[in-house]
Amino acid sequence: MAQEIADIQEIVEAQFGTAVRNFHMDFDVITFEVDAEKNTALLLFLKNEETLQFHFLTDLCGIHYPENDDDHQFAVVYHMHNWVTNTRIKIKAYVNATPEIKTASNIFLCANWMERETYDFYGIHFSGHPQLKRILNMDEMLSFPMRKEFPMEDSGRTDKDDRYFGRTTTNA
């Protein structure tokens, strides 16, 4: 028996008040936002509260919103799963253009590598992380490649003709 969005909203709002907002269903997943400074408190609450039991952190990732205002440039997204009732929730915490947020690696051990990956690709700093360094890209890389301002294509390419890759409009 899956938990309903209204029940979860009631329990979480009773504890966090205005720090949580915008409860809605997004692609059939319960979704809401939390203030960035309340992220670890919320994760702990969801994990330990008897009636919620979100014991499992499925995923943790970043998003870049270059169009948003300065305080909502980046989002850290937490996906959690209740194995007892088979309920999934998604929590977004927005951070500003110099992104920093508290680490969840002491609550869920799996967050360690996922936060390193998020740092690697978005440059989001997780304060209190035991070893915040690049995990997938090479250590010498200077940029954070999943930020929108970063070009996806390699600047070192020399042998590729733009005409054959649909990069010119006239094909001339």
Partner 1 sequence: MVAPPDGVVGEGFFATKLNDVVGLARANSLWPLPFATSCCGIEFMATMASHYDLARFGSERVSFSPRQADMLLVMGTISKKMGPILRQVYEQMAEPRWVIAVGACASSGGVFDTYSVLQGIDKVIPVDVYVPGCPPRPEQIVDGVMKLQELVKSESVRRRSSPEYQELLASYNIK
Nearer to partner 1, 65 or 150 (CB): 150
**CA dist list (Å): 12 to 44, 70, 138:** 12, 27, 40
From the list 22, 23, 62, 20, the residue with the least C-alpha distance to 42 is 20
**List 1, 14, 25, 152, residue binding partner 1 (CB under 8 A):** 152
List the beta bridge partners of residue 75: 63, 94
Alpha-carbon span 72 to 61, nearest angstrom: 15
Q: Using the rule CB under 8 A, is 156 a contact of partner 1?
A: yes
**List 67, 138, 166, 170, residue binding partner 1 (CB under 8 A):** 138
**CA dist list (Å): 163 to 21, 152, 153, 158, 159:** 49, 18, 15, 14, 12
Nearer to partner 1, 2 or 136 (CB): 136
Q: At closest approach, how far in Å is the CB of 76 from partner 1?
A: 22
Element of type H or E holding 114? helix 111-122
Q: Using the rule CB under 8 A, is 1 a contact of partner 1?
A: no
Q: Using the rule CB under 8 A, is 151 a contact of partner 1?
A: yes
**List 159, 164, 166, 170, residue binding partner 1 (CB under 8 A):** 159
Measure the CA dihedral 102/20/16/116, to 10°: -20
Q: At closest approach, how far in Å is the CB of 125 from partner 1?
A: 21
Q: Segment near partner 1 (CB under 8 A), from 1-9, 12-20, 110-118, 133-141?
A: 133-141
Q: Using the rule CB under 8 A, is 166 a contact of partner 1?
A: no
Q: Using the rule CB under 8 A, is 137 a contact of partner 1?
A: yes
Q: Using the rule CB under 8 A, is 161 a contact of partner 1?
A: no
What one-character DSSP code corresponds to residue 97? S
Strand pairing category for 100-102 and 87-95: unpaired
Interface with partner 1 (CB under 8 A): 136-138, 141, 143, 145, 150-154, 156-160, 165
